[in-house]
Every structure is written in C-alpha cells, then in structure tokens.
Amino acid sequence: MYRNSKGYFHMFIDLQVNKYRMDLPTAWDFNDKSTLLIVDANGLSVNYVGCAENIEDENIEDVVIRANIPIPSECKLFYFEIDIVDMEKGIIAIGFCTNSAKLSMMPGCEADSWGYHSDDGDFFNCSFMNEPYGPGFKAKDTIGCYLNFINKTAFYTKNGVNLGIALRDLKDNLFPCIGLRGGFIETNFGHKKFKYAGLAMTNDDIGDELIKDKWVNQYKNILVDNLEVLANSLEIKPDDTLALRYRAETHLMLKKYDELYDDINNLLKVDENNEWALETRNVIEYRSV
C-alpha cells in the first residue's frame, strides 16, 4: 500500500489546495503554559510539578497547555494521542480550544474549549456542565483525539478503541490542548505509529473479523467522503496538481485502479515531470505485465 511522506500519519485533505505543505501542530508551546508545567526539549512530554495531593482541594491549580500552532483551515482531518505515563493522583483532560481560552481552567470548562476528563470519563463542552461520554482513564492508558472538519465531528479513542462521537458542531481555528491537575504525559502528534486501528493498522493487522470490518468500513467511508470533496475542488480548478495527486492516492487506497490510472494521466498532462505520478505509473505498469 502506498504511504505518503508522513509514514503512519493520517492523510490530510485540502479543500482549496493552494499550498504543497501545511504547517501542523507538532509539539506543545513552551511560551503558552503555566509555570507549574515542565515540558521536555522536544515539546512532547509534559509534567505537572505543582502539588496534587488532594484533587478536591480548591487551592489546587488547573493548568492547560496548547499546541505550538493551531490546526490550519486546509487540514480536514487531524488526530493526536496522549500516553498517560503517571497519574497516581490528579486529573487530566484532553481536548481542543481556541486561542482565547484561558490556561487556568480544564479543557471544556469555559467558552471555546472542549475536553474529555480522566476522573469521570465525561465530556465538557464549553461549560462546567458535564456530559456522560466514556470510561475514565488512568496511567498506562493512551487517549486519542480525532477532529473531522469535513463533517464537523470529534471523537476520542482509548487504547486504540473508538469511543464514539463526542461533538457534532466542530469549529475551525482550534489548538490541541491538555489540562493537568497532577500527572505526567507524553504526546504523539504523528511522529510514530498510532495505537488507533483506524489510522495505524492495515487490514492484516486486525485479527478479529468483526473489529476488522468496523475499522475498514469506517476508513473507507472517510476516503469516499474525501473523493467527493476533491471532486468539488477539481471542478473549480481542474489543473490543481495537489488535488489530483490526493485523489489518485485515495483511489489507490480504495483499490480503484482504473480511476487511479486516469488521475495519474491527468496529473501528467498538467505536470509532465511529476515524479510521484511517473513513479506510480511505472509501478502499476510493471505489476500489470
């Protein structure tokens, strides 16, 4: 199966593609955090160094850190995972927020902020009013957050399992964020393989047929949605080389080889020296011999 330059990272779809690369969140922002948090040199590990002996104590501070940049509007699918390294005492909330959200309130507990909380498994949607959502989480768990800007939904995963839709009215210009009242976490923004099967596994990696069907069908639905988005984009700008390549890659993942070949030929009509198209066409022609 062809993989893009991000390796195991998921494919991002650009509606009106006019750039060949997108600047995506890759680390936590050293300059956008409380002094009670220590961030490692890579910007991926975060440790709460305040006192969290009694999580019910009103004097215990909630502290939040945002990613180094917001998710760009061109990015239509974004996912990240948090490994809970240590959380003997405390609460961790994982979510997303705007630039205006405060850094002193847990994600979801104020306007323009959303978060999934470890202590009760509830989802908080811009309010102190909690909504029952999923199981709580603790040390050694991995929690993922998936933002789909195509259909305006967000869901979480726990140890690779989809927990279902948490939000159905997703906004733009959002930062990944985490809130801590104790604990130590490590982050995967896509630099290594995800635990979520929908993004990190191929068909052969999933043993149980029922689970396999669930993940494969969900992934195919996303790809089909992407084809519709790209078709609309190419109606506006038929010679958009990036959109043509994205559509060709999508057809390849769906094993629609006739459509793939057509997209490659159309891409080469626009850019006759396109390295990806030439290489992929050679592979297809070699395999068909």
Q: Are 39 and 46 in contact (CB under 8 A)?
A: yes
- Closest to 238 (Cα-Cα) out of 274, 269, 203: 269
**pTM across the whole model:** 0.63
Token reading at 159: 């140890």
DSSP string spanning 195-249?
S-HHHH--GGG--SHHHHHHHHHHHHHHHHHHHHHHHHHHHH-TT-HHHHHHHHH
- Closest to 145 (Cα-Cα) out of 90, 92, 224, 89: 92
3-state SS of 141-187 is CEEEEEEECCCCEEEEEECCEEEEEEECCCCCCCEEEEEEECCEEEE
- Torsion region of 285: left, alpha or beta (phi above 0 gives left; psi -120 to 50 gives alpha): alpha
Which amino acid makes up residue 78? F
Helix (H) or strand (E) holding 266: helix 257-270
* Domain limits, the chain: 37-200, 206-288
Question: Is the domain covering 206-288 a CATH 3.40.50.10860 domain?
Answer: no
- Closest to 65 (Cα-Cα) out of 176, 148, 181: 176
Could you give the CA distance from residue 102 to residue 117 in angstroms, rounded to a whole number? 17
Predicted pLDDT of residue 199 = 57
Question: Is the domain covering 37-200 a CATH 2.60.120.920 domain?
Answer: yes
What are the mean pLDDT values of the chain's consecutive 10-residue runs (289 residues total)? 34 35 85 87 92 53 92 89 90 96 90 95 89 92 94 92 91 95 93 75 38 54 74 86 84 81 90 85 58
Q: Are 134 and 159 in contact (CB under 8 A)?
A: no
Cα separation values, 87 from 84, 117, 182, 288, Å: 7, 13, 7, 54
> Residue 193, exposed/middle/buried by CB under 10 A (0-12, 13-18, 19+)?
middle
Could you give the CA distance from residue 245 to residue 223 in angstroms, rounded to a whole number? 14
Could you give the CA distance from residue 134 to residue 122 in angstroms, rounded to a whole number? 6
DSSP lists the bridge partners of residue 46 as 39, 185
Predicted pLDDT of residue 227 = 82
CA 96 from chain centre, in angstroms, equals 11
CA 84 from chain centre, in angstroms, equals 17
Could you give the CA distance from residue 196 to residue 146 in angstroms, rounded to a whole number? 10
